[in-house]
Amino acid sequence: MHCVTSATAADYGWIRSSSSPFRYALEIGYTLALVRGVSPAELLTLAGAEPRGVCVGLGELIEQHQELIDESDDRDECVLAGACTVQSEQGDWTLALALGGDLGSPGFMETLSAGSRAVSHSSNGGKPMHFFHWHENGELRTTFEWPTVRSGSTPDELNAVMREVGFDLTDEEAPDVDGKAAVFALTERLTGVRVTEKVLMAAEYRAGEVPEESGEEWESITIDITDAYGERTYVHVRKDQL
């Protein structure tokens, strides 16, 4: 089921170099996804992204994201995604890189992976929150923030591969492991796609502004509280009362 590659965290040390264009993504927050069977245009359409032309190379994508921030009153709402085609021994994949946030709702990757595979990882920028997700046929198979605390329908299926790429599954604070580089290597093991600085800098990205996810409309809520003595209290609150 998993691709036969020898990728380890050591292959992705370049993401931390002072000259790496990916440092911008690490600083501002990002989502990187690899999806098989969905074209770049289809991915952006499913994400509800507003088209913003084509960017040649990650440098142009970063410039356009900075322009988007300059145009906006709220930097946190500015998410620009670029999608391009990349190859592996399994065929074509779409690489999507969202700068500034997520590609879509939590269910978005489930939709993309229907009948196929989607692997993604993300960071929210300066705060220490980093996530990995593996979806297969619309099912979330393995996901984690900390490699020692996994969930999904098959949370332990990748354990052997995770150890091979560099994760220490016995210690959450393993100081010698670059968790982000290890996640890149784990993604390569699942897709066969090696993401390099050259790949990111040479790609032609279809760009699109990803809309902020909005919550569902609601008119009222009911709060049900049970105290230590078993007494239940119901409070019904309308939106116009808040």
pLDDT at position 231, please?
53
pLDDT digits (tens, 9 = 90+) for 81-96: 999 999 988 789 999 9
Structural domain total, the chain: 1
- Provide the domain limits for residue 76: 9-216
Look at residue 235 and tell me if it is in a domain: no
Look at residue 94 and tell me if it is in a domain: yes
pLDDT at position 171, please?
65
Listed in sequence order, the DSSP H helices in 75-171 are 108-112, 159-165
Percent of the chain with pLDDT over 90: 67
CB atoms within 10 A of CB 149: 10
> DSSP label at 128?
S
Question: Which segments of the chain have a pLDDT < 70?
Answer: 1-3, 75-76, 126, 171-175, 213-242
Look at residue 241 and tell me if it is in a domain: no
pLDDT digits (tens, 9 = 90+) for 176-222: 779 999 999 999 999 999 999 999 999 999 999 998 764 334 344 44
pLDDT at position 175, please?
62
How many Å separate Cα 60 from the centre of its chain? 21
Look at residue 27 and tell me if it is in a domain: yes
Look at residue 230 and tell me if it is in a domain: no
Look at residue 59 and tell me if it is in a domain: yes
Query: Using an 8 Å Cβ cutoff, are 109 and 43 in contact?
Result: no
Identify the helix (H) or strand (E) that includes residue 85: strand 80-88
Look at residue 102 and tell me if it is in a domain: yes
